[in-house]
Amino acid sequence: MHPFTKTRALLDKHKPGKPPVALTIGEPQNQPPAFLAQVIAEHDQEFNRYPPNQGSDELLEAQIAWLERRYGLVGLDLKPQRDLLASAGSREGMTMAIRAAVARKLAQGVAKPVILTPNPFYHTYVGASMSAGAEVVVVNAEADSNFLPRYEAVPDAIWQRAAAVILCSPSNPQGSVASAGYQKTLVDQARQQDCWAIFDDCYADIYRSTPPPGVLAQLDGNFSNVLVLHSLSKRSSAAGLRCGFITGDARAIDDVAAIMKFTGAAISAPLQAGAAALLRDDVHVEANRARYNAAFQAAREALDCDIPEGGFFLWLPVRSAEEACLKLWIEEGIRTLPGDSVAWGEGGHNPGSQYLRLALVIEPNLLPSLLKRVADCLKDQLR
């Protein structure tokens, strides 16, 4: 069941105790920079044209410039039409990448390919895998491993059927950052089994102090078996733009692009021009990062809790996710996401059953009083 469907089933039969406030969806509430609308308007005469599936040269070159600037990838001779593929957001890109990975494994004669995903997970990992006919194998990501999945513990028999292994860093929902060493080890595992390592880096520019490392910077120019997904939804508060991109293994990108050509998932030309403008500007990203850092400072002060390294979700420890979620709604009208709705239980243990996910995306000046209400309401629930 979709996590928001499950949460609605839990909460909607009860009236909120106070005017509702939603901390459920990871949707930035601040606006993207004003120049975005201006650039789109300047290109509005291009809405009558079919856009290039791979992405315009302007957009692909802006993506390369950002990768070089953000991760120091200068000197790798990235080619726009070879090493990058525009996608309608990272969610759509992830869906297409999983489909391509599964098709590749089926062509190799694997009857039931596996997708390895963190647990808890972003729901698209599971939905896309199941729709592609793959078996989903979840790997717990809990406090004792810094909320990173222990992929090294996956049995060889599972790895041998793996079409792809997925990592999100900073992670959703916990905000943990995978070290360069962790990322490189995961790539080595994927190459040993000839599956794809898919890195969902949509939160790469939302961090507290230290920029999370990117896997491409660890590979000495050899991107085989690696795909990296980025998005402007979080970085630029442009979730409605539906624009992201995929980079990495050129052969894998060809496979994904072939699927995209049949699905019609290309981004309109004016929106591609707007996306290129966003990627060329870092000033608004710094302002976004300051906004979220202020939000987490408010959380630290109100709840006396650990602050994640990145992202904009607070993974709050509670005694019971569903009880805490329901209590906040009935008494305070504050809507959160119970952690067990974004995780699967294996062997009677669900790694999200004692956490709430709070999206700290509303105005920072509203958060101190709101989080104080959370703390007061859950004083007997917090761990």
- Extents of the domains making up the chain: 3-26+284-377, 35-280
Q: 35-280 adopts what CATH topology?
A: Aspartate Aminotransferase; domain 2 (3.40.640)
Asked if 248 and 228 count as a contact pair (C-beta separation under 8 A), the reply is yes
Phi-psi region of 264 (alpha: psi -120 to 50; beta: other; left: phi over 0): left
Backbone angles phi, psi at 216, to 5 degrees: -60, -30
Over range 25-37, report the average pLDDT: 95
**pLDDT(279) > 90:** yes
% of the chain residues with pLDDT over 90: 91
**Integer CA distances (angstroms), 163 to 214, 303, 306, 360, in order:** 22, 41, 35, 34
Over range 355-362, report the average pLDDT: 97
Q: 3-26+284-377 adopts what CATH topology?
A: Aspartate Aminotransferase, domain 1 (3.90.1150)
Q: What is the pLDDT of residue 129?
A: 97
Query: Residue 2 corresponds to which tokens in the numbers above?
Result: 């979709």
Over range 214-239, report the average pLDDT: 96
Over range 118-142, report the average pLDDT: 97
* 295-309 confidence digits (pLDDT tens): 999 999 999 999 999
Q: One fold for both 3-26+284-377 and 35-280?
A: no
Over range 288-300, report the average pLDDT: 96
Q: What is the pLDDT of residue 173?
A: 97
> HSE (CB half, 13 Å, CA atoms) of 78?
26
Average pLDDT of every residue of the chain: 95
**pLDDT(280) > 90:** yes
**pLDDT(266) > 90:** no
Over range 307-334, report the average pLDDT: 97
**pLDDT(265) > 80:** no
pTM of this prediction? 0.96
Q: What is the pLDDT of residue 161?
A: 98
